[in-house]
Amino acid sequence: MGTIFWPKDPLDGNDMTLLTSILRRWCARYEIEFTADESKLKAKELVEWFEFGVKDPVELEELIDGKNWLVSRI
């Protein structure tokens, strides 16, 4: 059995606090229970963006709201 290389840093307590607060605000905005399936899907999306390298809370909120795709066509 070989060694597995995982290129991502583990999430620490500060990361989890940040991501949880963003998810809780998103849930409150859309009146979705924090433990609902839709919330779990958003949590997965949020973690993926964070692991991709997006660390700015405002940008993360915009990404999970889909506001980054609101670009007019040329």
- Percent of the chain beyond pLDDT 70? 81
> Containing H/E element for 18?
helix 13-30
pLDDT for the residue 74: 46
- Which pLDDT score is estimated for 10? 84
- Distance spanning both ends of the chain, measured CA to CA: 52
What share of the chain in percent tops pLDDT 90? 68
Only one residue has tokens 């307590």, namely 13
pLDDT at position 45, please?
A: 94
- On average, the pLDDT of the chain sits at 86
Closest by CA position to 23, among listed 41, 2, 4, 1: 41
